[in-house]
Structure 1
Amino acid sequence: MRIRRKLLLGLATTLVAAGLVAPTFQPAYAASLVEVTSFGNNPGRMRMHVYVPDNRPAHPATVIAMHGCGGSGPAFYSGSEFASLADRYGFIVIYPTATQQAGFGNCFDTWSDAAKRHDGGSDPVSLVSMVRYAQQQYGADPERVYATGSSSGGMMTNHMLAVYPEVFKAGAAFMGVPYNCFAGAADYPPGSSQCTGGSMNRTPQQWGDAVRQQAYPGYSGPRPRVQVWHGTADTLVPYSLLQESIEQWTNVFGLSQTPTSSDTPQAGWNRRRYADGSGTVQVEAYSIQGAGHSLPSGGMAAAAIAFFGLTSTPSPTTTPSPTVTPTPTTTPSPTLPPTTPPASGACRVTVAVNAWNTGLTANLTITNTGASAVNGWSLVFGLPAGQTITSGWNATYSPTTGQVTARNLAYNAAIPANGSIDIGFQVTHGGNAAKPTSFALNGASCTVA
């Protein structure tokens, strides 16, 4: 399967085995996204942002929500529905930012030997440090910790459930791959990956043995429940890998490959459930008809939170937020009023291209540099001659050649003042790997960074 920058794992050429660092407590004020600059052992050199809702119980659940390659924690905060769900149901959301690079940029490490082992190092250790920080600083419940993510973040979700089964209660992976799908750093470049090349096919036993024998040998405790999502038209992370993930987790749980039930919760969502003898659904798989590399879209985050069991309204907290000065993020709350389009020059687009012999992926960061929020957007740009879009994420794209218009999806329609969102696409080309040009947001010309 092909990989795009938003999709994969970060490539760590140097792993820093940092010693345990006592955290400096810089808690978030409720209902704002705040960066924590020191949260403990951080061999992956990651950044941590946390969202703590106003209304929460004394011991709230924790959801760690992970972006795709080329993204960031604040961008995933503003471009997904998890923070608004946290406001409704009273759980904490951690938004990590991967910083390891391998030509793709900001991808979560699911390929290195260190990352594949319990307490081995790299990004998984950093992520667990963030979870433990939330438990120490906010009284978060250690029995209610959940992982979710998109693309590279979806890959890391499956990875963390395998490597740290004692930490996580459940996970929801959007457009991910099974644990141990990538052989190493050389297995990541688009067009050459064995994992994402479209032909990965192992037996359920082989996938299950990887979890049992490699991730955490000797572990005999309970396993986290697993929810996996994939679009049937995804060509970046092939849809076929959904089945490989199902086979891995059903084998780990000792379940049949035949679902115990199947249904269509809403149009285009085909769901298969795999329950154990007590009737508990341990594995749940969603096939989203016609969807490309664009998940989660509207309503999917809510389905993940429901799978976690977090959809009861919390009682008011009895533990007020500590009165310590935070380091606030510049990204405001995602709930924004409708506004007019930005004035000319009030937008900026940053373009990052990763090309190979017959194709490339382009990741675009759209920044609203105006004083007012934008609610509902379209971005027009010019695609270089000979390039054709084959798939995209976080937007719809039409037409696929020439002057293209990218339009928002339901979950990322709002761009706050001074806020950013990330979108991207994959193209085929005959040798012209130039970047797209001439951007206009809602009819206003954008500067290009």
Structure 2
Amino acid sequence: MNSTFQRLMAQATQLTRAGDLRGATAAIQAALAGGAAPPPAPADADVIDVPARELVEPVAPLNRAAPVAGEFITGSYTGAAGTRDYKLYVPPGAHGRRLPLVVMLHGCTQNPDDFAAGTRMNEAAREQGFLVLYPAQTQQANPSRCWNWFKHNHQRRGRGEPELLAGMTREVTARHGADHRRVYVAGLSAGGAMAAILGAAYPELYAAVGVHSGLPVGSARDVKTAFDAMKNGAAGKARTAMPPTIVFHGDRDTTVHPLNGKQVAADCIGACEPQLERARHANGRHYTRRTYRDANGRLAAEHWEVHGAGHAWSGGSARGSYTDGQGPDATAEMLRFFFLQAQREAG
């Protein structure tokens, strides 16, 4: 961590304590940009940007994912809350089949092609037979292309980005004949926080949720509380009912505190005791997995704590940004978890 970053983050802390939230945001943006001057903060405090970027060795994002058999098509959705583009992966032989749909929400500074490349989700969809929807955040909505999980008007059913993303999910499900019983949502960082919001707001739409390096629902209402939650965890947050949820978080994450991952899992589990597994993945990293079941023995949550990992998609490909190839495969484990929920519902 260089001296410029430390200086700017210290300045952001001082400005936050002094109540200068716009100034604090500008300092955070400058730190995350490597010291470069950030764009001017908007006049409306409701559109303050809180980037959530990893500050370790950078991996240059690709403009396009590597070619995968099937179709990777571009689309757009417009609803009452606005318009967003998206990309949709359709595997070979999808015509006439009611396939599952996985919605993937990218992190800050990412885009659908980059996120697809880093998570290898399209390759998994080709092999296992499901659709993948990648909504794209705009720089007009957020200068760093973060989903606005920390803004009060983007945290509830029927409002803002949750309503827009739910509407997009419904439209793609209907247009492509996906199985409405097997629709799932996952995301990284800001995308993970928004995935949790979607699961809580639309439990009838999303059968299960995957949160990687994200934050729990209700962890922030503005830039100050967002900064506090990212740094220290979402202290004092009210418990939020969630669909079955799988959580991945590195215990060396300096961008979003690992306590947030534990709090996401806590929203799903109540007071039940977990089944504990500690192991080392073949790629090198140790991990602790906690599996929680409800009173009926049904899978409620899994929490994967990846030891030594930072703010990056576990088991991801270096072809995308913010990935860690040494950890357990978050893509494979999320899909396993998701499709168990589908089997339960379909049975």
- TM-score after normalising by structure 1: 0.55
Deviation at 1:200, TM superposition (A): 3.5
* Cα distance in 2 between the residues matched to 1:289 and 1:180: 26
Compare CA radii of gyration and give the structure with the larger one: 1
- Correspondence 1:49 to 2:63: no
Q: In structure 2, what residue type is equivalent to 1:82?
A: M
Please give the alpha-carbon distance, in whole angstroms, between the structure 2 residues aligned to 1:150 and 1:306. 18
Structure 2: which 5+ residue stretches go unaligned? Answer: 1-8, 14-27, 34-44, 49-67, 317-328, 343-347
Given candidates 97, 117, 123, the residue that maps to 1:78 is: 117
Question: Does the CA contact (< 8 Å) of 2:100 and 2:130 recur in 1?
Answer: yes
Change (3 A) 1:105 1:44: farther
SS state at 2:313 partner:
coil
2:182 corresponding residue in structure 1: 144
The answer (yes or no) to whether the contact 1:273–1:285 under 8 Å persists in 2 is yes
Q: 1:250 corresponds to which residue?
A: 269
Identify unmatched segments of 5+ residues in structure 1. 15-28, 213-222, 313-449
1:63 to 95, 99, 102: 102
Q: 2:338 aligns with which of 301, 304, 308?
A: 308
Q: What is the deviation of 1:70?
A: 0.9
Aligned residues: 268
CA 1:283–1:79: 2 relative to 1, 3 Å: same
d(CA) in 1 for partners of 2:198 and 2:261? 17
Q: How does 1:26-425 map to 2 (within 5 A)?
A: 31-37=70-76, 39-41=77-79, 43-56=81-94, 58-99=97-138, 105-120=144-159, 122-188=160-226, 193-198=227-232, 200-202=234-236, 206-208=237-239, 211=240, 224-251=243-270, 255-256=271-272, 258-259=273-274, 261-264=275-278, 266-267=280-281, 268-298=286-316, 299-309=329-339
Mark the CA change 1:199 to 1:86 in structure 2 (over 3 Å): closer, same or farther.
Answer: closer
Q: Secondary structure at the match of 1:172?
A: strand
1:104-147 deviations in whole A, cap 9, x for unaligned?
Answer: 51011112232222112x21112112211222211111111101
Q: Is the partner of 1:194 in helix, strand or coil? A: helix
Distance in 2, Cα, partners of 1:44 & 1:149: 21
Flag the 1:245–1:142 CA change in 2: closer, same or farther, 3 A.
same
Is the contact between residue 69 and residue 126 of structure 2 (CA under 8 Å) also seen in structure 1? Answer: no
Instruction: Write the distance in 2 (CA, Å) between the matches of 1:100 and 1:125.
Output: 19
- Per-residue displacement from partner, 1:34-64 (whole Å, max 9, x unpaired)? 1113x34162532211111013471111100
Residues 12 and 285 (structure 1), Cα distance of their counterparts in 2 relative to 1, 3 Å cut: same
C-alpha distance in structure 2 between counterparts of 1:113 and 1:60, whole Å: 34
Q: Matched residue of 1:47: which SS? A: strand
Identify the structure with the greater helix proportion: 2
Task: Output the CA distance in 1 between the equivalents of 2:195 and 2:143.
Answer: 19
1:338 — aligned with what? none
Q: Identical aligned pairs, as a percentage?
A: 26
TM-score w.r.t. length of structure 2: 0.70
What displacement does 1:311 show?
Answer: 11
Q: 1:184 to 1:241 in 2, by over 3 A?
A: same
Distance 1:265 1:43, change over 3 A: farther
Contact kept? 1:48, 1:95, Cα under 8 Å? yes
- Asked if structure 2 preserves the Cα contact closer than 8 Å seen for 1:101 and 1:107, the reply is no
Q: Quick check: which one's strand share is greater?
A: 1
Query: Any residues of structure 2 matched to 1:16-35 within 5 Å, and which?
Result: 31-35=70-74
Where 2:47 maps in the other structure, the secondary structure is coil
